[in-house]
Chain A
Amino acid sequence: MEYAVEIRNLTKDYEIGFWRKKRVRALDDLSLNVRSGQIFGFLGGNGAGKTTTIKTLMRLQFPTAGSASILGEDISNVKMHGRVGYCPENPYFYDYLTAREVMDYFGQLFGYDRPTREQKTKELLAKVGLNEKDWKKQLRKYSKGMLQRVGLAQSLINDPEIVFLDEPMSGLDPVGRRQIRELIAGLRANGVTVFMSTHILSDIEALCDEVAILRGGKLTAAGDLNELLAASEGAGSFEISVDGVSAEAIREDIEFIAGAQITAKPQGAGIMVLDEADIEAVLAVTRRAGGRLTSIEPVKQSLEDLFVRDIDPADPGIK
């Protein structure tokens, strides 16, 4: 199967208010395909519609319009969810149960016999780095990070073919984040598709093959992470640093080069050109003015640049 998730024109409106109900659009005509066997990063600011999308896919909410399928089956197919794992944002479980009991409960919902449930519980709680002495504590005594680990463990109890992780690193310390990153990479190595939303861009850069960026419920970018970065504004440019000459002395000549920009630096100037072919012209101008080349570096766009470009901090997201 080429696509693990197919989303077609998904729209979700919420009604707010008591008497005079007002409609707000949380998700606006979202169409998206997620290839099987990859780690897919789902990005967006607060209120962009990430959690709404995941909740709709998990049939916790019903779409206002559009449809979606997971593993080739419509999301309304309850049985299909037996092949899916889900860890909600800030996972909540029965706080009167222990971690072992929660795992056992979910294992029973999948129809596993007792020895299988016990084996899976031990294996998964250890895999998410939950200390064995805490397995018999009631969840009401757990920290946020410990609950997050239980959330991840339960999402894998049925050996899912695809797992949806909503902010999986939330509440974890640096060691925990590293463990979970390794766990997620391990899932991909075993052929599991991972669909994760996160605010931690370094995790996306380290793990994801493809990403989608949402803003105000609309898709603003989607595709291979490296291709998106390469195609984004500023990618393919070069920054040339020179010293022994002031920016003002060469500004006029530099601005003759199409698209070139010059900025003053303490020891000299920085010049950005859009094309590699223009580097020689910049060097010639600098030499004529008595300057000296110190470095030439290709301009790399980071995911943060891409993210910030697509997310307007003044925009509350939901329209």
Chain B
Amino acid sequence: MPNEGPGFLPRILTIAKNAFRESVRDRILYNLIVFALLITASAIFLGELTAGQEARVIVNLGLSATLIFGAFISIFSGVSLVWKEIEKKTVYSIFSKPVGRGEFIVGKFFGLSAMLAVNIGVMGIGVTLALLYVGGRGLIGGVWASVLLIFLELTVLTAVAIMFSSFSTPALSALLTFFVFLIGHFSVSLLDLANTMGSSSALGFFTAVYYLLPNLSHFSFITETANGMLPPPQMLGGAALYALVYNVILMTITVAIFSRRNFK
């Protein structure tokens, strides 16, 4: 019997599973080997150099590496995920089926987010093992709270990368997403700087940047974690809500752009 297809959720799930499988087969998870080597080496050698500060160094280094590795994966996979489908014309077979363009974009986003979750989850395990090795058991709770915040930040970065790639080339999209990553971490400082400058145009510009670009400092808790602090629940809740709202807005923009695209 001809089939009009299931509801939109199973289709999104199917596309997400395939995007995850694509990332795995593209050997993206190989970065974990480099990360494992880095953490093992730091656990063994850095402790000797920092007399009694092993656990703190491991948390700082491990979580920073998790963020940097994750950001690279978000940017480079995010900008190529949709672009590759158009360039390789695989979208032809997808959109001739009862699949909405929005379902495709959201599915791709979830697939890459799932891959990031696995990736940084494994990194979190690596940091935990290193902490157990150096006797820093007390920091493990904070590490996992920070891993969750990093994951939320990376989903925002992924959504930014996918949005840029819906109308731009991968190289330009990667560059723009990288700028968003950098500015997003310093936008509060930029706003403070503009306030001290006293120029109304600078203040206007930096205020616009502050509200337009994601404020990624909402997700930063690495230094505090290394100092043995735990993020308060309202910070975690606020960050989750911020990521959710931001991702919904970015996905809506991306779908609106992508829905108007002609595939030549």
Contact = CB atoms under 8 A, between A and B. Distances in A.
Interface residues of A, number: 38
Given A61-B262, A62-B260, A86-B93, A105 B2 contact: no
A78 interface: yes
Contacts of A59: 95-96
A319 to B, nearest CB: 17
A296 B26 CA distance: 68
B2 A83 contact: yes
A106 B97 contact: yes
B176 to A, nearest CB: 19
A241 interface: no
Given A82-B98, A92-B88, A158 B2 contact: yes
A162 B96 CA distance: 12
Interface stretch (A39-47, A107-115, A128-136): A107-115
Interface string B248-264: 00000000000010111
A58 B22 CA distance: 25
Contacts of B95: 58-60
A203 to B, nearest CB: 22
A83 B96 CA distance: 10
A106 B97 CA distance: 8
B90 A109 contact: no
Nearest to B87: A92
A312 B95 CA distance: 34
B264 A61 contact: yes
Nearest to A150: B93
Contacts of A106: 93, 97
The 4 A-B residue pairs with the shortest CB-CB distance, nearest first, are A111-B6, A82-B4, A86-B96, A96-B25
Given A80-B4, A82-B98, A151-B93, 5 more contacts: A60-B262, A61-B263, A83-B2, A88-B93, A109-B98
29 contacts: A58-B95, A61-B264, A62-B260, A78-B98, A79-B5, A79-B98, A81-B98, A82-B3, A82-B4, A82-B97, A83-B2, A86-B96, A94-B18, A94-B90, A95-B88, A96-B26, A106-B93, A106-B97, A108-B10, A108-B14, A109-B15, A109-B97, A109-B99, A110-B3, A110-B98, A151-B93, A154-B93, A159-B2, A160-B2
